[in-house]
Amino acid sequence: MKTDKLPYLITSFSDYIISEKGLSINTVKAYKRDLTHLHQFLKNKSVQTLDEKQFSLFLSSLKDRGLASSSIRRLIFSCRGFFRYLEREFEEDSVDFAPFQAPTIWEKIPQVLTTKEIDTLVQYIEEPSVEPMVRAVIEILYATGIRVSELCSLNWGDVGESMIKVQGKGEKERMVPIGKLALHALSLYQKTYKVKPTGRNALFLSKRGLRASRQSIWHLVKKCIKAAGIEKNISPHCFRHTFATHLLQAGADLRVIQDFLGHSDISTTERYMHLSMKKVCQDFHKFHPERTT
């Protein structure tokens, strides 16, 4: 099998993980980017020449180019899945990935807002000069911990009196509680813009009347954080980390948080225990009497 067939095989693999595995479009795009790196590395060589030694050189080249540990971790999983697919569908020999341990993602701790910073942010978005859509977006992100892609896909028909229906990864639906403050902000937004809160109408719209995109929500959050005077590099996804961390610090059960976030594996949720303990350790070293004696 020559590498000139790799683009076709990558496309075939992408179709497979969408239709059979139910992965999201954004995840599939990330997989394709990872496999494009491999295609570029192989150049004119056959994919059959890729063994453990060559794959190790491939990873080293990416590290030398400054690729983050989290990206290399995902790339290993992407390549592993791709070669298993080739082995099953085309009877190609697969690379033994056992020697390649995915680098830990703990090297980069997710950014989290403190409760004081949340209070500062809430005070800002409640000012009359702040657009109701900005307030509604911020309130919902923090109140529910949903992904920005899930926020963008919400319709008015998904919003209930105390719960919202979320379309998660792999087309999996889940119900997530939503508080009164977020619902109130949503009501103000609806009345201000006279949006029809019916059925499959998009919850959040762009200025052109189209469904809000991830990029538009990203810019909205960035602008809001800066205007509120919070000096942190906060993205919409940081509200998901903040939601989970604050719940855990308040004593919520890890399994409940897992359900809220839509994690299929509890180990994914357990990283917030790490974040919570990191904060405990920081407070210990900051406030323990031993430090001031």
Q: Is 174 considered catalytic here?
A: no
Task: Please tell me which residue in 135, 240, 241, 246 is annotated as part of the active site.
Answer: 240
Task: Please tell me which residue in 80, 84, 263, 278 is annotated as part of the active site.
Answer: 263
Helix (H, G, I), strand (E, B) or coil at 224: helix
* C-beta of residue 1 within 8 angstroms of C-beta of residue 47: yes
159 φ, ψ (degrees, to nearest 5): -100, 120
- Using alpha carbons, select from 94, 61, 79, 71 the residue that is nearest to residue 10: 79
Burial category of 60 from C-beta neighbours within 10 Å (exposed 0-12, middle 13-18, buried 19 and up): exposed
Task: Please tell me which residue in 135, 147, 241, 246 is annotated as part of the active site.
Answer: 147
Q: Is 169 considered catalytic here?
A: yes
List, in sequence order, every residue forming a beta bridge with 176; answer none if it has no partner: 164
- Using alpha carbons, select from 44, 81, 74 the residue that is nearest to residue 59: 74
How far is residue 25 from each of residues 19, 90, 93, measured CA to CA in Å? Answer: 11, 25, 28
- A 10 A CB-CB count for 145 gives 23
Q: Is 219 considered catalytic here?
A: no
* Greatest pairwise CA separation for the chain in angstroms: 69
Q: Is 263 considered catalytic here?
A: yes
- Using alpha carbons, select from 39, 38, 35, 42 the residue that is nearest to residue 16: 35
Report d(CA 137, CA 109) in Å as an integer: 24
How far is residue 41 from each of residues 46, 82, 228, measured CA to CA in Å? Answer: 11, 16, 45
Task: Please tell me which residue in 39, 73, 80, 237 is annotated as part of the active site.
Answer: 237
* C-beta of residue 258 within 8 angstroms of C-beta of residue 266: yes
How far is residue 76 from each of residues 25, 52, 90, 264, measured CA to CA in Å? Answer: 19, 12, 20, 20
List, in sequence order, every residue forming a beta bridge with 211; answer none if it has no partner: 205
Task: Please tell me which residue in 73, 169, 174, 222 is annotated as part of the active site.
Answer: 169
Query: What amino acid positions are annotated as catalytic residues?
Result: 147, 169, 237, 240, 263, 272
